């Protein structure tokens, strides 16, 4: 009788065989799981609390993964001007 591998087994196997990607060049951040990134860690009713916790741990510039997207989070203060960004870049205060 052949049993199907569990989802956790497939994700674990993928994590060990993945080749280096853009994420290896991103700023430090919390460890991600394949496909979900860090979405599973955003447990509070206010996601800003999770972002604040990660900022305290990793500094003013860090990266997280959200459902397959790499996101670089940058804390800015007043008077900061963004450099020109590629088309399609999402920026929010």
Residue 3 has a pLDDT of 61
Residue 5 pLDDT more than 60?
no
Prediction pTM value: 0.58
Write out pLDDT tens, residues 18-65. Answer: 445 555 678 889 888 888 888 888 877 888 888 899 999 998 889 998
Residue 6 pLDDT more than 60?
no
Domain ranges for the chain, please list them.
Answer: 7-74
DSSP the chain: -PPPPPHHHHHHHHHHHPPP-GGGGSPP-S--BTTTBTGGG--SSSHHHHHHHHHHHH-SEEEEEETTEEEEEE---TT--PPP--TT-----
């Amino acid at each position: 009788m052949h049993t199907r591998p569990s989802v956790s087994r497939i994700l674990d196997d993928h994590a060990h065989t993945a080749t280096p990607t853009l994420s290896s060049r991103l700023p430090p951040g919390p460890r991600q799981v394949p496909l979900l990134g860090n979405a599973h860690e955003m447990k509070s009713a206010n996601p800003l609390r999770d972002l604040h916790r990660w900022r305290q741990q990793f500094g003013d510039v860090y990266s997280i993964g959200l459902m397959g997207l790499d996101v670089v989070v940058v804390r800015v203060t007043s008077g900061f001007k963004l450099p020109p960004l590629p088309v399609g870049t999402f920026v929010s205060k």
